[in-house]
Structure 1
Amino acid sequence: MTSSAPAADPTTRVRLRPRYEGSNICTWIGFKHVNYLVEEAVYDHARQHGFPPGELFERYGLGVDLTDLDTKILTALHIDDVVTATVRRLPAQDGGGLRLGVELTVERSGETVKAVAAKATVHLRSDPRGHAVAEPPAELVGLTVDRLGAGAATVPLEPGTDPLEQLTAGRNAFGWAWRMPYFYCHFTERVQMSGYLRQMEEVVDLFLADRGVSIKTLLDEQDWIPVVPHSRITLLDEALMEETLYTVYTVESVFKRLTYTARMDAYVLRDGVLVPTATGRITHGWAVIENRRDWSLVDFDDRLTDALTGKAGKALGRGRA
C-alpha cells in the first residue's frame, strides 16, 4: 500500500490491492473484500491527516469505528488489480460523525474506470478501559461518542418463544444465531463493521442453501454465480464478544427477475429484550460464467424466482440456529 497525497490536502489517495482471500470464484473479488478496500482507504485517510488509528487508541483512548458503510459496485474487481482509492469529506448529516466519500478506480485497457462509489461514516468511540495518556485534540471532540449506534426500538421477547421464531414469523425471512467470536471484534470487545460484513455474506449463503438454490447448486447446474451491485450496513448499537447475534435476512423485493434486495437485521438478547445492533440491505443479481475472466448478467429462472419469493415449498419465517 502506498499513499500519494500530502496531509494538507483534504482529499487523499492511496493505491491498494484486493486480498487474495476475496477471490472466491474465478478471479473476481467478492463484495465483502470490495468493502474492505473502502475501509482501508478510510483508515489511510485518517493517517494522512495526522490521526493514525493506532495512535488515537493508544494515546487518547479513542477507537476509530465505521458506523455506516454504503457501497455501490460498478465494475468487477480482479485479484491482480491495483486500485486507486480517492477519499473526500462530505457534508455532515444527522447522527454526527465524519462522513466520507470513497471512490475506487482501476485501469482497464489504458483507461481509468470508476469501479466503486461508497459513503462511510466514522465515529470515535471513547474506550472505558484504563486511562488516556493525553486529552484528544479539540477537533476530534465532536466526533467522539461514549457508545456507538443511531439507536432503534427494542423488541420484547415473548415468554417461552425462540428469538428467531419470533423475529421471522410470517415473513419471507431466514434467521441465524451465532456466537460472536473475538476475531469479529476490535478495540478489545466490540463487533466491528467488517464483522457485520461477514455476517451479511454468510447469512446470504445460508438463506440460499435453505431455499434449495445454494451457490454450489447453481454453479454446478447452470454456471451461475451471485453478484452484488449494492450493499449497506448501519450500526444501531454495540454487540460484544461472545454474545449471540440473531441475524434475520428478509427478502424485500424482486425486480423484473434481474435483481433482488434483502434486508439484514441483527439483534442481541439482553434481559429478555432483543436489542437491534445493526441493519443493512444487499442487492443481488446472477451472472453466467462465460470464461475464466468474463461473465454476463442473466434473468432469474422460475426455480430461483420461486425460491426468493418463498413459493418453492419453504415455509415463510423459517429460522435456524
Structure 2
Amino acid sequence: MSNSNLAKDGATQVEIRPRYEGSNICTWIGFKHVNYMVEEAVYDHLRQHGLPAGKLYERFGLGVDITDIDTKILTAFHIDDLATATVRPGPDKGDGKRFLVEFTVEREGQPVKAVASKVAVQLRLDPRGHSVEEPPAELAEFVVDRLGAGAEPVVLEPGADPLDQLTAGTNSFGWAWRMPYFYCHFTERVQMSGYLRQMEEVVDLFLEDRGVSIKTLLDEQDWIPVVPHSRITILDEARMEETLYTVYTVENVFKRYTYTARMDCYVLRDGVLVPTATGRITHGWAVIENRRDWSLVNFDDRLTDALNGKAGTGTAAGRGATA
C-alpha cells in the first residue's frame, strides 16, 4: 500500500451512474444521491492512489470520514446517465485533506458540467482496542482522535425541552430522532451520508408542517422542489442510538425564486446540547413539463407565506416555532 500519495496525489477519473433509489420523481436524481456520487468519487480517488478505505481501517484502524461536503448541481442527472467524475487535490484548510470534485455528463453528444463539489476528509483513529499497525508518518497530519471542526455548546435551560429552546422565536422547525445503526459507519459514528438523509427528511417534514408538502404541490400544481446547492459540515461526533435534535431554519426567501435554509444538529450530553453538524440548502420549485423536462417557477403566495412562517401549526413529526 502506498501511503504518501494522500498528500501528493494527482487527478483521477471514474465513471459513475446514479443509484436507482435516487430517482424519486420522474427520472431525476435528488440532491442526496448526487452527493452520494461525490462521496463515491472521492473514495475511488483514494483507492486509485493506494489508499482504499477498507485497508486503512483494517490495517491501521483509520476510518476515512468525509467531514465537509459542499455541492453545486448545475445540470440535473437522470437515472440512466453515465457521469464522469474528476477528482483533484484541493487547497487544505487545516480541517483534513481537501478535494475538488467535478462531474460531466453527456447532453446532445457533448460533455456538460453537471456538478462541482468541495470535500474534506479526516482519518479517524478507532480506539476500540483491536490490534492494528501504527499509521504511517505520511498520514499523520490527517489523523484525528475526534471528528469535526468544533462549535460552541448550548446549555439546556432547567426543565426546558431541547426543541422548544432551540426553535424559540425563530422561523424554524425542530425534529428529534434516534440515530439508527444504518446511519453510522466504522462501528458507531454517524457518517456524512446519515446527515444527508437527515437534511432530506427534515425538509420533507418542514414542508408538510407548513401545509405545502411535496405531494400537495405535486398533486395540485405539478410542482417539485429542486436543489441547486447544499453543504454539510460535521462539527462533532454523534453516536449510534443517540437522539439527534435537528433544527431547520429558513434564512432567506429570494425574490420568490429560491429560498435558503440552515440545518443544525445537536445531541444532548450532561445537560448540554452539543452541535454535531451544520449545513445549508437552497431550494427552488419547478413545474413538470413532461416525463423528462421541468422548468423553474416563481413561488405563489401560499408557498411564500409558508416559507416565511405565516402558515402551519406544527405536527407530531416535530416541533416548529414561527417568527
**1:27 matched to 2:31:** no
Q: Indicate if the aligned counterparts of 2:81 and 2:105 stay in contact, CA closer than 8 A.
A: yes
Percent identical residues = 80
| Equivalent-residue separation in structure 2 for 1:286 and 1:38 (angstroms) | 23
| Equivalent-residue separation in structure 2 for 1:244 and 1:211 (angstroms) | 24
Q: Indicate if the aligned counterparts of 2:95 and 2:149 stay in contact, CA closer than 8 A.
A: no
Deviations 1:99-152 (A, max 9, x none): 000001101111000000000000000000124432222211110000001100
**1:312 matched to 2:311:** yes
Give the C-alpha shift of residue 314 in structure 1. 4.1
Q: Indicate if the aligned counterparts of 1:16 and 1:84 stay in contact, CA closer than 8 A.
A: yes
Match of 1:3 in 2: none
User: What's the secondary structure of 1:230's corresponding residue?
Assistant: strand
User: What's the secondary structure of 2:198's corresponding residue?
Assistant: helix
Match of 1:88 in 2: 88
Match of 1:110 in 2: 109
Amino acid paired to 2:320 = R
Match of 1:297 in 2: 296
Q: Indicate if the aligned counterparts of 1:58 and 1:132 stay in contact, CA closer than 8 A.
A: no
User: What's the secondary structure of 1:160's corresponding residue?
Assistant: coil
- Pairwise CA RMSD of aligned residues? 1.2
Amino acid paired to 2:10 = P
Q: Indicate if the aligned counterparts of 2:287 and 2:295 stay in contact, CA closer than 8 A.
A: yes
Match of 2:5 in 1: none
| Equivalent-residue separation in structure 1 for 2:33 and 2:131 (angstroms) | 33
Q: Indicate if the aligned counterparts of 2:231 and 2:279 stay in contact, CA closer than 8 A.
A: yes
Match of 2:187 in 1: 188
Q: Indicate if the aligned counterparts of 1:287 and 1:295 stay in contact, CA closer than 8 A.
A: yes
| Equivalent-residue separation in structure 2 for 1:318 and 1:208 (angstroms) | 11
Match of 1:240 in 2: 239
Deviations 1:45-87 (A, max 9, x none): 1100000000000000000000000000000000000010000
| Equivalent-residue separation in structure 2 for 1:51 and 1:129 (angstroms) | 22
Alignment of 1:149-298 (within 5 A): 149-298=148-297
Q: Indicate if the aligned counterparts of 1:17 and 1:81 stay in contact, CA closer than 8 A.
A: yes
Give the C-alpha shift of residue 195 in structure 1. 0.0
TM-score normalized by the length of structure 1? 0.95
| Equivalent-residue separation in structure 1 for 2:131 and 2:109 (angstroms) | 49
Give the C-alpha shift of residue 92 in structure 1. 1.1
User: What's the secondary structure of 2:170's corresponding residue?
Assistant: coil
Q: Indicate if the aligned counterparts of 2:209 and 2:312 stay in contact, CA closer than 8 A.
A: no
Give the C-alpha shift of residue 318 in structure 1. 2.0
| Equivalent-residue separation in structure 2 for 1:76 and 1:132 (angstroms) | 46
Structure 1: tracts of 5 or more residues without a match: 1-7
Deviations 1:247-302 (A, max 9, x none): 00000000000000000000000000000000000000000000000000000000
Structure 2: tracts of 5 or more residues without a match: 1-7
User: What's the secondary structure of 1:220's corresponding residue?
Assistant: helix
Match of 2:44 in 1: 44
Amino acid paired to 1:188 = T
Match of 1:79 in 2: 79
User: What's the secondary structure of 1:318's corresponding residue?
Assistant: strand
| Equivalent-residue separation in structure 2 for 1:249 and 1:55 (angstroms) | 37
| Equivalent-residue separation in structure 1 for 2:38 and 2:131 (angstroms) | 29
